[in-house]
Amino acid sequence: MTAPFRLESLAQHDRPGFACAADALDRYFKTMVTQDIRRHLANCFVAVEVASGDVAGFRTIAAAGIPTPELSPEITKLLPRYPTLPAVRIGRLAVDQRFRGQGLGAAVLADAAAKALQEPAAAFALLVDAKSAAAVAFYEHHGFQRFKSLPRVLFLPLATAEKSLRADRKKQAEEVLTQLSP
């Protein structure tokens, strides 16, 4: 059985037809993402529908840092007293309207966490800049936490992501990720 989606690096994919209903994300993906890739500011990965070759979703990632004073004492009590901690930032994540409701956003997010755990560069957390209240709710549903003074910047400690990937959500993520794999 062929999986309905595959996840791959952005290359010569057809981007003009992508529409997630968030103008800023659509505009970025269609006109600006390749500039960020060329400048080594972000990497972009796309979920491609196997049957049509259409881009069903995308995410960007980049290196980042978390200001330690922005974290709660419960999180920092076992961490070194560094002024910042390394992180992987999910700059943008979107699913085309035609593919919503299939678990693709959660699968792309789970893949980002799994890849961050495998990368050679150490990172404490995934970061994301939520573009709307609905996006904040989506990330919080998946275990992300807000910073004290930055309500639309959320983080997920990679240790938490690792536990989640092993726990009951792991099975669901693996089922959807199996569909993304070639």
Q: 47 or 122, which is more confident?
A: 47
Q: What is the percent of the chain with per-residue pLDDT over 90, rounded to a whole number?
A: 50
Q: Which pLDDT tens digit goes with each residue over 51-73?
A: 999 999 999 998 899 999 989 89
Q: How many domains does the chain have?
A: 1
Largest CA distance in the chain: 50
Q: What is the percent of the chain with per-residue pLDDT over 70, rounded to a whole number?
A: 88
pLDDT at position 148 is 82
CA dist., res. 104 & res. 110, Å (int): 10
What mean pLDDT is reported for the chain? 87
CATH code: domain of residue 78: 3.40.630.30
pLDDT at position 173 is 59
Tokens of 164: 């989640």
pTM of the shown model: 0.75
pLDDT at position 165 is 73
Q: 94 or 12, which is more confident?
A: 94
CA dist., res. 119 & res. 33, Å (int): 22
CA dist., res. 147 & res. 154, Å (int): 6
Q: 77 or 182, which is more confident?
A: 77
Q: What is the arithmetic mean of pLDDT over 114-134?
A: 83
Element (H, E) at 161: helix 158-166
Residue 105 in this model has a pLDDT that exceeds 90? yes
pLDDT at position 151 is 86
Evaluate whether 14 touches 55 at the Cβ level (below 8 Å).
yes
- The angle at the Cα of 13, spanning 8 to 17, to the nearest 5 degrees, equals 120
Residue 32 in this model has a pLDDT that exceeds 80? yes
Residue 130: domain span: 5-180
pLDDT at position 1 is 46
